Every structure is written in structure tokens, then in C-alpha cells.
Amino acid sequence: MTTSQPGILEPVPALGRYLEFGLQPDADPRDVLARLQDSAIGPELVVGLGPAPLALLGATVAGLRPFPALGGAGCDVPSTQADLWLWLRGSDHGELLHQGRRLQALLAPAFRLDQMIDGFRYDRGLDLSGYEDGTENPVGEAAVAAAIARDQGAGIDGSSFVAVQQWLHDLDHFESLPQGERDFIIGRRLSDNEELDEAPDSAHVKRTAQESFDPEAFVVRRSMPWADVSGYGLIFAAFGKSLDAFEAQLRRMVGAEDGITDGLFRFSRPLSGSYFWCPPLSGGRLDLSALGL
């Protein structure tokens, strides 16, 4: 039976570990990906492939492309497209470490680990700014419709696309602003999460209001805070049946339509950006038939 990878639609876990890999020079990813197919994929792991390994295998997945570098007034959105992405999910740091080691060893002949970031859930699912993240996520059938591809044929149906960015916050600056100004940056009131109609057009939830796009741009966001010696912020992850909804939102955030930059850029900036295709499962294992495997 074909399904989506279960970790995509599950709630955000207590702990996450994000591993980004690049292709080794002159590597042939075929054998490694075939071995990855032998691993059962449960809710504790989500796997995404970037455009380069697919191209090496002579495969195309319609809609998968490199993350676009964008910019606008006072904001810079870099593209740091990686080749393979693992999102380890759980509640035990040790388990995540061992699972990551196992997968890193399995992938090593073709993929080198370039980036490892630990994520965690804050309270009931807050961004480190204190605002609730995920309120307007579609749920149930609407989440499936937003995040999972269908009617595109065997090998693609049940798959998903994900946009992943590491954002670096400046909370000292954010917290120096009056509470009302902070609420206007987000477009919601911190105290009760109410949406503020009177917020300016730069407010984040006005920029990204999913029904306001044509076509409507729904995504399933599964972001997690991160922190290490270099700083802290949010690992933003948005799953979609394609990458178009995310990209429309991102373009509006940088002011590509009307020159108005999202208020978020006043206290946070993205350090990275990648797109991945998350293959479907068949019998609980990755279905890589779209890649000819």
C-alpha cells in the first residue's frame, strides 16, 4: 500500500535532529539509495532528496527545483541547496544520535554530512519569540490535501515536497520593541494569539495569509526552534503537494509583489534554504520507483 512518510503529518516531536548531506565528488547514489530503501520508515524519520541526486540518476520529479535565492529591501534569502535531508524525530537525544550515526554510515559512500542542527519543541509549540507557531495549519483531510501529492501517478502519489530554512533570531532587538510593535510584526497578539486586523500590511500573517493567494497557498508547517553556540532561531519547514504555495508566500515576504517586506526580517534572517522531495512509502519502505530504483 502506498502512503506518505508518517512523520510529515504527525505533530512536531519533543526533539528533532536535522541532517543535511551533499553528494561526494563523482559519487553514484544508486547503491546507497537502494540500501536506504531497505530501511523501514516510521514516524521517527523523514527523508528528502534534492534535485542533484535525481539528475544523476537521470530522473525528474515534476516541480522539484533548487531553492531560489531572493532578496528585497532589507532582506536577503539565500539558497544553500543540499542534496539529501534527514529529519530525525523523537524524545531521546541518545536515540537520535544513534539513529543519525546509522544513517550517516549507510549514506557515506555517496553522501557527506554537511550540517547537523538539533531542534526542540518549546512549550506547546511556540517560536522562541513566544508566539504560537502553527495555529493556521490545515488539519486532518485538509492537511493531507495541502501536503501530499495525488493523481500524479504511481511513484509520485503519496509523496511530498518540503522547503527548509534555518532562521537566526535577534531576540534582544525584538524584546527591546514595545509589546504592541512586536504584535504588529507577527500580526497576532502575544497574550491570546488573536489575529489583529489593524496590523500593518507588513505583518507576517498578513503577508502569508494562505487564503489570500490565487490559487490559495496552503502548506503544512512543522517548524522547530534550534539553539547552539552560534545563536538560536527557527528551523522552518513547510510541506506541500508542490513547492508553489511556499514559494508564493516567500516571494510576498520579500516584497516581490508590492515592495513591502515582512516584519519578521526586523528580528530574524534566513541562513539557509533548500527544497527536497520526500518520496512516498510502499509497504512501509521508500518507494523510489520514480527514480527507476
Residue 293: HSE in the Cβ half-sphere, 13 Å Cα cutoff = 24
Residue 133 is a binding residue for ligand HEM (CB under 6 A): yes
Residues 206, 62: Cα–Cα separation, whole Å: 30
**DSSP assigned state of 38:** T
CB 148, CB 141: distance < 8 Å: no
Sites for ligand HEM among residues 146-165 (CB under 6 A) = 165
Nearest approach, Cβ of residue 292 and ligand HEM (Å)? 32
- Candidates 205, 278, 290, 293; binder of ligand HEM (CB under 6 A) is 205
CB 148, CB 156: distance < 8 Å: no
Residues 80, 67: Cα–Cα separation, whole Å: 7
Nearest approach, Cβ of residue 56 and ligand HEM (Å)? 29
Sites for ligand HEM among residues 78-97 (CB under 6 A) = none
Residue 170 is a binding residue for ligand HEM (CB under 6 A): no
Q: Residue 38 to residues 103, 201, 283: CA-CA distances in angstroms? A: 12, 49, 11
Q: What values do phi and psi take at 175, rounded to 5?
A: -75, -15
Identity at 9, one-letter amino acid code? L
Nearest approach, Cβ of residue 9 and ligand HEM (Å)? 16
Residue 136 is a binding residue for ligand HEM (CB under 6 A): yes
Nearest approach, Cβ of residue 78 and ligand HEM (Å)? 13
Residue 203 is a binding residue for ligand HEM (CB under 6 A): no
Please choose, from the candidates 286, 292, 293, the residue with its C-alpha nearest in 3D space to the C-alpha of residue 46. 286
Nearest approach, Cβ of residue 79 and ligand HEM (Å)? 13
CB 114, CB 22: distance < 8 Å: yes
Nearest to ligand HEM of 17, 222 (CB atom) = 222
Residue 222 is a binding residue for ligand HEM (CB under 6 A): no
Give residues in contact with ligand HEM (CB under 6 A).
Answer: 127, 129, 131-136, 165, 167, 186, 188, 204-205, 208-210, 219, 234, 236, 238, 246, 249-250, 253, 264, 268
